[in-house]
Structure 1
Amino acid sequence: MVKKSIQILDTTLRDGAQAALVSFTLRDKVKIALMLDELGVDYIEGGWPGSNPKDFEFFKEIKNYSLRKSKIAAFGSTRRKENKPEEDPSLNSIIDADVKVAVIFGKTWPLHVKEVLKTTLEDNLSIISDSIEFLRDHGMEVIFDAEHFYQGFKENPDYATRVVETAWRSRASVVVLADTNGGTPPHEILEITRKVREASSAKLGVHMHNDIGCAVANSLMGVVGGATHVQGTINGIGERTGNADLVQIIPTLVLKMGYRVLEGSESLKKLKEVSTMVYELAGMHPNPYQPYVGDNAFTHKAGVHADAVMKNTRAYEHIDPSLVGNRRRIVISELSGTANLVSYLDRVGIKVEKKEEKLKVALNKIKEMEMRGYSFDIAPESALLVVLKELGLYTRYVNLRYWKVINENGLSLAVVKVNDQIEASEGLGPVHAVDLALRRALSREFPEIQKVTLTDYRVILPGQVKNTESVVRVTIEFTDGNDSWRTEGVSTSVIEASIMALVDGLDYYLQINKKLKPMLTKQTS
């Protein structure tokens, strides 16, 4: 039996934009809104038009686009206690935003009513009612956020319930119970939400913050308790420790709890893409450990895990990663078994039995290299070169006989002798100079090498390894426009480690494209 639908309100552009170090441009906000509409969210809270010019401009700009499904909502507060609704700046800024939906917050906790608003409990109810009615009379749908609801309920449950009833009788379409300071544990969220559901006929929503790390769990408990409207942000960005992460909530509601959310399975497949884009526009690195969409969410490192997953994915995976736009990864490391190597070989089209003795030899070499500072779960393609050599599938395409780098007085010059070709190049830095010199020399024999570009370069200091000198590990990411791969070098010299990673990266590309792909094409023809 399929359960009822749950509405999703995304507040990435408002509450998410309040995260420290996050500042969306107007163009960013429009891009995210269009992406959220494509995802199929019910409401997009575009910002607080009364608080800053950028948010007000967003509401004007978004009118130039035809949204497929989402409703744009403007955020604001209830009227000030001394103002009539028609004279209130916050309410009028919402009307001036010219949208069909308003989200306004009001006080629920007596502490805030008496000590922040400096008014009486009865006057606060009038403020809430007047504000909602004013916006409703202007033809707007109104969603009322009951700020600090759970703290207010624990102090004075009768008054908190009266706030809900006042907002509902004033024609709010949803009354949202907010855990504004994020300090309520899940069992209390469930208990209180159920009590409100039993006492009121209002349509309930939930808005959770993550101050004790429970925003996602609290949102789900709110739904179990009777809420049918959930607010949150993409990736959980927001004030302090963040908001409830919709990227985790949405698939859990659909796949684990059986609710109808957004556009079902089609929306879920877009989650990783949406998550990645919001991280990029927010200037944040994606969290590799993020449930469902993180790069490590379906990554298997231990040999026992990899072996079991290759036999039956359900052994260590709670869902098929493709359901949320992610993919399975088997990494190679000192914890690996031969099953990890078999999985990587299978990805490049090479079928090898797990019991193959040469695989065990390769695995031992890989483990020895990790003891010297390598980390092949980050750069598996360097490990794959080791495996290809042991299996007799390797051809030496790159033979670097000599290199020298001059890096002084603002000059970065590299000289290399590779495949009996001598080449020199000047670059923006020593690594760039070596890269240019290698490409110039190799492209005479392999012109396709010009397709390869560097997309990431990282230096890590693993420290002392086996009581020897301290080493550096350089990881470089490459792409040819279709595929991406990472290789590594480890040395006491950062330049030498960089050259090792560069050579491995170009070598891997040639192994795949000059040997393995033609060999597989011949086998299948």
Structure 2
Amino acid sequence: MSKAVTIFDTTLRDGTQGEGISLSVEDKLKITLKLDEMGVHYIEGGWPGSNNKDIEFFHRVKDLKLKHAKITAFGSTRRKLTPPEEDANLKAILDAGVSCATIFGKSWDFHVHKALQTTLEENLAMIYDSVRYLKDNGLEVIYDGEHFFDGYKNNPEYALATIKKAEEAGADWIILCDTNGGTLPHEITDIVKDVKSKVNVQIGIHAHNDCELGVANSIAAVQAGARQVQGTINGFGERCGNANLCSVIPNLQLKLDYTCISPEQLATLTNVARYVNELANVNMPVNQPFVGTAAFAHKGGIHVSAILRHAKTYEHITPELVGNKQRVLVSELAGQSNLVFKAQELGIDFNANNSETKKIIQDIKDLEHQGYQFEGADASLELLLRQASGQVESVFEVESFKLLVAKTADQPVVSEAIVKLKVHGEEVYMAAEGNGPVNALDNALRKALLQYYPDIQDMHLSDYKVRVLDEKDATAAKVRVLVESTDFQNTWSTVGVSTNVIEASWQALVDSIRYSLIGKSRIDPAKDEQRERLGLVNH
């Protein structure tokens, strides 16, 4: 039995039906290129008969030089009592100029009666006529049996009759769809095996995630004989989403020895997952399996002590196989092993047995107790470790800052900051305005340092988060500020904590700029290029 599995991505069509997911034509074209590079076999571009955006996509996608993927256009079977050559939906698929069509039809007799409001016989004719019409026009046809598993459980003879009609009409693939996402893995296994025994055409699985079983059901179907998996990147999709290809692919390939894409392409998985989330403007859950930032993160001291001896002790695969990386978090739960690992990772010579190491561990735990969180602020942690090991030069010293915030009745709020620094023994005063007090401080600080460190113009703040730590204290509560900064090569995060949000922001800003300035000497372009190729650089 062949161990090859075909991957069909429907992020651009089914994925965009998820709440809060919207992709422009430009976004869809960029994602198409990424999916093609990753080795996806089919990319469902959209429904050309439904909206102008999809029509434009199919027009422009022809100009892309794809190496692996076939673009498919989606649509339904013909309308009832309408000849296929007169059906606007089928004509739109032909007009899209694709070589492959994916059409769906009804497998559940309940839907035939209630949704289509037609007879069971007419539904069979609709399936046959539509598949045959597209085949006669030279297209490869993938037939999706909508609600197949619900239909099979209600009326197995009729559900099987619908896909037999698609096979008779010449469908190249028949996909069994768990459209409501309510089928359990053992049911998937039994039904797929029965279908396999009754049809000769290749079959596939299209699973939804309403019971958190989209991935499990896809794997069960493959083990029962399905050879195509339909899903989306990061599990995007209507309601609870579709089967997540970022979990389906590595599970099939690394755990069950099926071939989906090449090992080199699999190593781009994390990069692709994060790229798609970025274009969709969606935050990826840190604990998403395989591709999340916490997928291979270790926090407990006992765990870290073990992975220092062998990563396999607490990692089910090598992270780099899917383009991810191992991370060790330092927090109040950390032991000596966490700091030693982190120091090694940063290239810091750290003696695990001396009293200074133990003091740093205690200092970090004390800071975490005060509200600092270093697992989300690696740059602040690195500054602490380098300072403790005597490796941080004093690039500048802060003497003071002042803020003026003014508001008049007919004018917007004006913020002005004045900073006083000492740089290379010289005192520097600088003032700057901003659209808020934090922005004004940021502008004044960079303006003061620019003449000494011109490279600072390449960095900017990319994210700013404030969290109230003691809600019961209301406006007097302590807050934690996390600042994310970036330049043309790296992204880093710093933290500040105070009962004054301006002071907490100032701490994080100063750490961010200090890290940027001392970090210039640590950038290794060759290493950075290698990490980029492997998909390890998070843009």
Coarse TM-score class (shorter-chain normalised): over 0.9
Question: Partners in 1 of 2:306 and 2:191 — Cα distance?
Answer: 42
Q: What corresponds to 2:381 in structure 1? A: 383
Gaps of 5+ in 2: 408-412, 525-539
Does the 8 A contact of 1:373 with 1:465 survive in 2? Answer: no
> What is the aligned counterpart of 1:343 among 341, 344, 353?
341
1:350-395 Cα offsets, whole Å, 9 max, x none, are: 1323223211111111111111111111113223333333333344
* Offset of residue 224 of structure 1: 0.7
> What is the aligned counterpart of 1:415 among 415, 418, 427?
418
The residue identity in structure 1 corresponding to 2:443 is L
Do residues 436 (structure 1) and 436 (structure 2) align? no
1:315-374 Cα offsets, whole Å, 9 max, x none, are: 111111111111111111111112211222222211323223211111111111111111
* Offset of residue 242 of structure 1: 0.7
> What is the aligned counterpart of 1:483 among 469, 490, 511?
490
Q: What corresponds to 2:10 in structure 1? A: 11
* Offset of residue 464 of structure 1: 5.5
Question: Partners in 1 of 2:91 and 2:449 — Cα distance?
Answer: 67
Do residues 353 (structure 1) and 351 (structure 2) align? yes
Alpha-carbon spacing, 1:3–1:304, altered in 2? closer, same or farther (3 Å): farther
The residue identity in structure 2 corresponding to 1:172 is A
The normalised TM-score by structure 2 is 0.91
Question: Partners in 1 of 2:474 and 2:55 — Cα distance?
Answer: 61
> What is the aligned counterpart of 1:399 among 391, 397, 400?
397
Q: What corresponds to 1:151 in structure 2? A: 150
Q: What corresponds to 1:522 in structure 2? A: none
The normalised TM-score by structure 1 is 0.94
The residue identity in structure 2 corresponding to 1:208 is A
Q: What corresponds to 1:523 in structure 2? A: none
Question: Partners in 2 of 1:389 and 1:463 — Cα distance?
Answer: 30
> What is the aligned counterpart of 1:473 among 480, 501, 516?
480
Alpha-carbon spacing, 1:89–1:266, altered in 2? closer, same or farther (3 Å): same
Q: What corresponds to 2:88 in structure 1? A: 89
1:185-229 Cα offsets, whole Å, 9 max, x none, are: 112111211121123223110001111111011111110111001
* Offset of residue 452 of structure 1: 3.2
The residue identity in structure 1 corresponding to 2:184 is P
Does the 8 A contact of 2:350 with 2:389 survive in 1? Answer: no
Does the 8 A contact of 2:147 with 2:177 survive in 1? Answer: yes
Q: What corresponds to 1:242 in structure 2? A: 241
Does the 8 A contact of 1:342 with 1:351 survive in 2? Answer: no
Does the 8 A contact of 1:465 with 1:471 survive in 2? Answer: no
Q: What corresponds to 1:500 in structure 2? A: 507
Question: Partners in 1 of 2:479 and 2:144 — Cα distance?
Answer: 52
Question: Partners in 2 of 1:110 and 1:347 — Cα distance?
Answer: 60
Between 382-391 and 38-47, the greater mean CA deviation after superposition: 382-391
Question: Partners in 1 of 2:474 and 2:486 — Cα distance?
Answer: 36
The residue identity in structure 1 corresponding to 2:391 is L
For residues 41-60 of structure 1, what are the structure 2 equivalents within 5 Å? 41-60=40-59
Does the 8 A contact of 2:167 with 2:199 survive in 1? Answer: no
Question: Partners in 1 of 2:507 and 2:281 — Cα distance?
Answer: 30
Specify the SS of the correspondent of 2:230. strand
Q: What corresponds to 1:194 in structure 2? A: 193
For residues 448-459 of structure 1, what are the structure 2 equivalents within 5 Å? 448-459=455-466
* Offset of residue 291 of structure 1: 0.9
Gaps of 5+ in 1: 519-525
The residue identity in structure 2 corresponding to 1:397 is V
1:438-497 Cα offsets, whole Å, 9 max, x none, are: 223334444444443222211111226999952111111223422322111101111110
Do residues 218 (structure 1) and 217 (structure 2) align? yes
Question: Partners in 2 of 1:131 and 1:279 — Cα distance?
Answer: 35
1:125-159 Cα offsets, whole Å, 9 max, x none, are: 12111111111111111110000000011111122
Q: What corresponds to 2:303 in structure 1? A: 305
